[in-house]
Amino acid sequence: MGRLGPTEIILILVVIVLLFGAKKLPDMARSLGKSARILKSEAKAMKTEGKKDEAAPADPPSDPAVQQRTIQAAPGDVSSSRPVTEPTDRTTQR
């Protein structure tokens, strides 16, 4: 009980093809892959940021309320990178 057999998997795939159409499935897969790459690069950036913060304190930004960094769609992809302004967390500051 609770396990999907080959018949159920095939039935699910047929329903997906009928709902979305065969033409849209490659685009959906491409979008899913791009999203996964973005998530992976963001997770990697957060890990390196955390290690950098632990190793040595960084210079504070010119405006302490705003930090700016660049988000890239995939490592090495400069065509879709864009600067993002992020406010700092002021809940712990007094």
For residue 46, is it within any domain?
A: yes
Are 60 and 23 a contacting pair, CB within 8 Å? no
Q: Can you give the pLDDT at residue 77? A: 61
For residue 92, is it within any domain?
A: no
For residue 73, is it within any domain?
A: yes
How many separate domains does the chain show?
1
For residue 93, is it within any domain?
A: no
Tell me the per-residue pLDDT of 46-60, one tens digit each, with 9 for 90 and over: 988 877 766 655 555
63-73 average pLDDT score: 59
Locate all alpha helices (DSSP H) within 21-80, ordered by sequence: 24-55
pTM for this one?
0.39
Tell me the per-residue pLDDT of 6-45, one tens digit each, with 9 for 90 and over: 999 999 988 988 888 878 888 888 999 999 999 999 999 9
**Separation CA 31–CA 37 (nearest Å):** 10
For residue 11, is it within any domain?
A: yes
Q: What angle do CA 76, 79, 81 make, to 5 degrees?
A: 75
**Separation CA 53–CA 47 (nearest Å):** 10
Cβ-defined contacts of 84-87 (< 8 Å, 24+): none
Average model confidence (pLDDT) for the chain? Answer: 75
Confidence of residue 68 (pLDDT cuts 50, 70, 90): low
Confidence of residue 79 (pLDDT cuts 50, 70, 90): low
**Separation CA 14–CA 4 (nearest Å):** 15
For residue 45, is it within any domain?
A: yes
For residue 94, is it within any domain?
A: no
- Find the domain containing 68 and state its range: 6-87
